[in-house]
Chains A and B, each alone.
Chain A
């Protein structure tokens, strides 16, 4: 027996089965995602994991993932935001007016759009947090108003194309500093660094937990699990690098995922949002300003929806009145598939991200198969219900 295993025994490891059972939700979703990916890889005859398609997959889903980060906070706080699809449409229109019609510098335009997104979130959040109007109603109103505003601003027409630099938000790839032959050099180096970093973080976490008597999984299982994760990252990174490299959007998305994971798990504001959603009265009586907290979650949502709006517009290379229609449903579905509770207080960033990718991979796979939009909708609806049913069933059994 190695020394590492001995110390592990001493601080109380749990068996693999117990560990998986205790984390069934996360494992269940991750396994579901892998199964769905493998399934489509097989039925599409190996197209799914092709470099071009993987790149597409990232570009098609990045804005849903980004909005899911904000939506998760909103849902955990016990609210809902139906307006994000319309914010995407409106901000797309605004960015087109600013850069195409007015010729504004692209970084100034981006900043202006983010500020407007924050303002929209603030207005909605103000009515929800300080006047206690149900978020469903306020954001339903916002959804209608902003869709109308989008039409008004665009005059019912498409506006485009965008200047090159604005387009690069969505269509650009990270720059290359060295030539590695057929592989994008910066991308592959970055991929390796991410894999190593995550592995090291997991190792440190385990050591800290053991030192403080927290139950950890058996060492062998821990190594196996993290090697699988590292291998998956390296594989996906390699595939992307062998095409045009890592897209800019992917980097933005990964940074945001990292940031929001940190905020939800390690900061006081994250902790407060979970407490607020779990029991608002008890949280207020613990000296926490629950109104302000709800208000902030909507501002945050507005900013992220604005960012998504620009990504969508840049990707389409034109602002259209129909941009973002129905996005709110995909974003909300991603959160619920990922294990968030409709009554608030429960949900994880990783869950929402996995949920978004489950939806994205299904969209992508079914499109490659040539399945009609009619069947696609039905399958997606069924998956949402099945995921939540699995949740409820598990809880009632426990």
Chain B
């Protein structure tokens, strides 16, 4: 029998109201690269947090056996102690410290609190050589690119005598060359006998490096496939990832679709901070009256960046392109102008970008359209109260009154307050960014109903979502986006989870 280094047995992890993991099993063999794949929210990251002790023993059910022994990790330090090291998608480096300082942060080469710099630098140089990074140990992290930062993270892991290395989407923000270098490094480590688990969305990478693939879906293990025993095709992986039964979770809609209301032409934008990194390439999008249009894509595909750059240049720089409403070019260079042109953007990040949390429901509802409740800058508070009460009952916002602070509302109700705000601004086209993220099934259905009402009123809806069933269930047409480009446009009849996934994967391989 193979030598099993890690076995996770019947792991079940529950959050209030949600079962994030249910009887998940994972077996990793000594010296292999094990790929963990699944849709956003399938439970991959949760599983790795269970493994590394972020969720301590006792907060989940099931066993973790590492090197044949059952382990109960209470903190990350416990798991690092036995040699399990996890590198998160958001790198945990201190930007203004040097490479050497970062590698030995919390683990300094020292005696009596005094750092031995000579030893630190020589050990850092040795580690950097192992990961193939040709930089001085004194270089500041901010001065090197993301790809190199990723290598520093790996060097940091190596400094801790790693036995099992876990990488959460290590190539998500890397370009092709850096990705290749990283994958080659992993394969080299495998030859030296190290075990790693890699979480990724890029199936071509999976096929390139993985010895075994475990697919998670809705918090359950679907299948573990051995790449050496059988030929695992991308189609098979995709089917396993998305193959869930479609239920009747979406209210039906029959709205006649009218003329084009929003058109974005040749839209280009560069990264907010790095002005030489283009994040959006020649995007062309149309939305018609009464139409619900989806934008599908993986995290980091540039969907939010697109929406925010159109909405008053709230993201990016060196933006170029044209926006027209009902055939007339409009100026959307500030948020105010975008709102006046008839746009509204309902953010994916309602806590940071959507709500003023310590203000009440009423004040949040009217914030984007204070002119609508005031005369000569003086607020008509009776009118404001009426407006807020009206939206509260229309959208069924469950709260004690409109004077309740939004910080105390549930996610679904917070989302409804954000929606109220933008509905009150009376837009022609609403851009909804992950409108149902983190809210329960009942509230989701209500949001879909609101979307249908908007379409029935002749408004256009552009919906960004990472939940493909949601897009398929609600949209008349779906754009597929990947790496800052529109890579496919699928009418309702042709769109399926397979066609969307395939469009993404194919474009990534080019």
Q: In whole angstroms, what is the CA distance A289 to B336 when docked?
A: 8
Interface residues of A in 158-211 (CB under 8 A from B): 208
Selected contact of B381 from candidates A266, A275, A346, CB within 8 Å = A266
B314 A268 Cβ-Cβ under 8 A: no
* Contact residues in B for A289 (Cβ distance below 8 Å): 334, 336
CA distance A213 to B359 in the complex (A): 20
Alpha-carbon separation in the docked complex, A279 to B349 (Å): 13
Cα-based distance from A284 to B389 in the complex (angstroms): 25
Interface flags for A338-378 (1: CB within 8 Å of B; 0: not) read 00000001100000000000000000000000000000000
Per the 8 Å Cβ criterion, residues 238-288 of A in contact with B are 266-269, 271-272, 274-275, 278-279, 281-288
A interface footprint on B372-416 (CB within 8 Å = 1, 0 otherwise)? 001001110110011001000000000001010000000000000
In angstroms, Cα B509 to Cα A183, docked, is 92
Q: B354 contacts the other chain (Cβ, under 8 Å)?
A: yes
Contact A287 B368 (CB under 8 A): yes
B-chain residues with CB within 8 Å of residue A286 when the two chains form the complex: 335, 367-368, 421
Q: How many Å lie between the Cα of A213 and that of B386 in the bound state?
A: 10
Q: Which of B311, B335, B401 contacts A215 (CB 8 A)?
A: B401
Q: What count of chain B residues pass the 8 Å CB interface test?
A: 36
CB under 8 Å from chain B, chain A span 30-51: none
Asked whether, in the complex, the Cβ of A281 is within 8 Å of the Cβ of B352, the reply is yes
* Contact status B352-A267, CB under 8 Å: no
**Residue interface bits B321-344, CB-to-A below 8 A is 1, else 0:** 000000000000011101100000
Shortest Cβ distance from residue B273 to the other chain A in the assembled complex, whole angstroms = 14
Q: Which residues of the partner chain A approach B367 to less than 8 Å between Cβ atoms? A: 271, 275, 282-283, 286, 288
Quick check: A212 and B382 within 8 Å, CB to CB? yes
Compute how far the CA of A181 lies from the CA of B236 in the bound complex, rounded to whole angstroms: 101
Hey, which chain A residues are within 8 Å of B355, CB to CB?
Answer: 279, 282
Q: Judging by beta carbons under 8 Å apart, are A287 and B359 in contact?
A: no
Is B122 part of the binding interface, using a Cβ–Cβ cutoff of 8 Å? no
Across the interface, do B370 and A279 meet the contact criterion of CB distance under 8 Å? no
Question: Please, which residue of chain B has its CB at the minimum distance from the CB of A205?
Answer: B381
CB neighbours of A214 from chain B (8 A): 385, 401, 403
Contact (A268, B371) CB under 8 Å given A286-B335, A287-B336: yes
Q: Which A residues touch B59, using CB under 8 A?
A: none
Q: Which residues of A contact B352 (CB under 8 A)?
A: 279, 281-282
Please name the residue on chain A nearest to B379 by beta carbon. Answer: A266
Knowing A268-B370, A279-B356 are in contact, say whether A285-B347 is a contact too (CB < 8 A). yes
Inter-chain contact B363/A282, CB cutoff 8 Å: no
Alpha-carbon distance between A345 and B405 when the two chains are bound, in angstroms:
13
Query: Which residues in A have their C-beta under 8 angstroms from that of B401?
Result: 214-215
Asked whether B357 is an interface residue with its Cβ less than 8 Å from the other chain, the reply is yes
Indicate if the CB atoms of B353 and A282 lie closer than 8 Å.
yes
Q: In the bound complex, do residue B358 and residue A345 qualify as a contact, i.e. CB atoms below 8 Å apart?
A: yes
Residues of A within 8 A of B357 (CB): 278-279
- CA of A272 to CA of B377, assembled, Å: 11
Q: Measured between C-beta atoms, what is the minimum distance from A143 to chain B in Å?
A: 29
Chain A 273-313 interface 0/1 with B at a Cβ cutoff of 8 Å (1 = within): 01100110111111111000000000000000000000000
Docked Cα-Cα span, A268 to B378, in Å, equals 6
From residue A120, how far is it (CB to closest CB) to chain B in Å? 26
Find out whether the CB atom of A346 lies under 8 angstroms from the CB atom of B358.
yes
Which of A214, A215, A266, A282 has most chain B Cβ within 10 Å?
A282
Please measure, in the bound complex, the distance between the C-alpha atom of A283 and the C-alpha atom of B353, giving whole angstroms. 8
Partner of B356, one of A215, A267, A268, A283: A283
Q: Name the B residues within 8 Å of A281 (CB-CB).
A: 352-353
- Asked if residues B385 and A345 are in contact (CB atoms below 8 Å), the reply is no
**11 CB-based A-B contacts, threshold 8 Å:** A267-B379, A274-B356, A281-B353, A285-B314, A285-B335, A286-B335, A286-B367, A287-B334, A287-B335, A287-B425, A345-B358
Known: A286-B421, A346-B358. 14 other contacts (CB 8 A): A215-B401, A266-B381, A269-B377, A274-B363, A278-B357, A282-B352, A282-B354, A284-B314, A284-B335, A285-B314, A285-B347, A287-B312, A287-B335, A288-B336
Residues on A close to B: CB < 8 A?
208, 212-215, 266-269, 271-272, 274-275, 278-279, 281-289, 345-346
